[in-house]
Amino acid sequence: MLLDEVQVKVAAGHGGRGAVAFKKLKMAQGPDGGNGGKGASVIFEGVSDLGALAQFRYQKDLIAPDGGRGHGNFVDGPDGEDLIFRIPVGTVIHNLTTGKDREMLSIGEKILVAKGGYGGKGNFKFRSAENTTPQEFQPGLPGEECDVLLELKMIADVGFVGLPNVGKSTLLNMLTNAKSKVANYPFTTLEPNLGAYYDLVLADIPGLIEGASEGKGLGHKFLRHIERTKIIFHFIAADSTDIEADYKTIRAELSAHNPELAKKKEYLIISKSDMVEEKELKKLLTKAKKLNPEVFAISVIDDESLEPLKKILNQIAEEKKV
Ligand SMILES: Nc1nc2c(ncn2[C@@H]2O[C@H](COP(=O)(O)OP(=O)(O)OP(=O)(O)O)[C@@H](O)[C@H]2O)c(=O)[nH]1
Ligand SMILES: [Mg+2]
């Protein structure tokens, strides 16, 4: 099961304390306490692997090492080595402690989540003409600590939405290298699937039902994955008993989840067009055009019917390049 939301505790390392020490040579006396090392920071780095949050299933405390303490003879404590965790691109990092959100947008991008504390100065730094035997030192500063909620919101170009069993996964598998499970019953797809169609990322979302935005069915959990998509393919099966009702159900769920979703460019896809007679299909398309003039009838057993859709995808890919 894809882990797409997880809360972790993050603690950067504390700085090491500075040393109080004096040279032991008779001829050369004086302070020689070294500084403490810097505490390690906790850093997230973007990767393409959508499953990367799984590392936090059991490891929920991300604790970076402290800096070492300073020693005599001007020996500074070692810095703690930063902890770097790889998280999927498209993850929103909610810092629950500060209330600030950051997003991991690109592969290789590094985001500092908790900064390690500075090391303290050793007594050598406190020497002066008046104070030749300083006892002063600084303790290291504490590292930052925070609770962080990681929420994966995939960055797909096109999101497939619709009621269950309308052929979303089937089309994804046809167009891409994805192997989304297909079966003739509702809720076959239990988690989102991605596929690449040339440069485009297509996302197949589990079927939505009325009340999905309030938590019914499975799809609600995944609606956030299409918050970032620019384009929605809205599927209605040709053998639907009432396409207008089906259409409105899904539109209502999209707006209820997030009004921004309802504003996205939408193409209406009348799927399984082979299930109805030609005459019936024509009637359906007339009805469908009233709901959304950008409508396509497709059947996965008729390759030709997919051509107009592929053209649209190519057009979307072209627009993405600009
Ligand atoms: N006749 C016909 N059947 C199709 C077509 N496309 C899909 N199907 C069948 O419809 C059923 C449902 O397909 P899925 O792709 O699993 O549907 P889905 O929308 O992903 O369903 P959920 O994952 O439950 O939301 C399967 O039995 C498919 O073989 C089509 O163009 N024509
Ligand atoms: Mg499916």
Model pLDDT for residues 98-112, shown as the tens digit of each residue: 999 999 988 889 999
- Beta-sheet strand order (sheet of 265-271): 193-197, 200-204, 158-162, 231-237, 265-271, 295-297
Give the model's pLDDT for residue 176: 86
Structural tokens at position 111 = 């985001």
Q: How far is the CA of 156 from the centre of ligand 2 (A)?
A: 16
187 lines ligand 1 (CB under 6 A): yes
- Contacts (Cβ under 8 Å, ≥6 apart) of 272: 166, 167, 237, 238, 239, 299
Residue 1 above 70 pLDDT? no
| CA-CA-CA-CA torsion sign (262, 148, 53, 109) | positive
Give the model's pLDDT for residue 214: 76
182 lines ligand 1 (CB under 6 A): yes
> Atom 14 of ligand 1 has which residue's CA nearest to it?
167
Give the model's pLDDT for residue 250: 93
**pLDDT per residue over 271-290, tens digit each?**
999 999 999 999 999 999 99
207 lines ligand 1 (CB under 6 A): yes
Q: Which atom of ligand 1 is nearest to the CA of 173?
A: 15
Give the model's pLDDT for residue 31: 95
Give the model's pLDDT for residue 200: 83
Q: Model pTM? A: 0.68
164 lines ligand 1 (CB under 6 A): yes
**pLDDT per residue over 182-226, tens digit each?**
888 888 888 788 787 887 888 888 888 887 777 777 666 778 778
Report the distance separating Cα 66 and Cα 140, nearest Å.
9
Mean pLDDT over residues 52-65, rounded? 96
219 lines ligand 1 (CB under 6 A): no
Of 165, 168, 208, 209, which is best to mutate to test ligand 1, by the most ligand atoms within 8 angstroms of its C-beta? 165
Q: Which atom of ligand 1 is nearest to the CA of 271?
A: 31
Residue 28 above 80 pLDDT? no
Task: Spell out the domains of the chain, with CATH numbers in brackets.
Answer: 5-152 (2.70.210.12), 158-321 (3.40.50.300)
Q: How far is the CA of 279 from the centre of ligand 1 (A)?
A: 22
- Contacts (Cβ under 8 Å, ≥6 apart) of 28: none
Report the distance separating Cα 294 and Cα 281, nearest Å.
16
> Atom 11 of ligand 1 has which residue's CA nearest to it?
184
Residue type, 207: G
On average, the pLDDT of the chain sits at 91
Of 182, 275, 309, which is best to mutate to test ligand 1, by the most ligand atoms within 8 angstroms of its C-beta? 182
Mean pLDDT over residues 284-313, rounded? 95
The protein residues having their C-beta less than 5 angstroms from ligand 2 (an ion) are: 169, 188-189
Q: Which one, of 269, 258, 100, 106, lies nearest residue 172 by Cα?
A: 269
Report the distance separating Cα 226 and Cα 203, nearest Å.
8
User: Bigger pLDDT: 268 or 319?
Assistant: 268
Which ligand number lies closest to the CA of residue 180? Answer: 2
CB 94 within 8 A of CB 103: no
**pLDDT per residue over 74-93, tens digit each?**
999 999 999 999 998 889 99
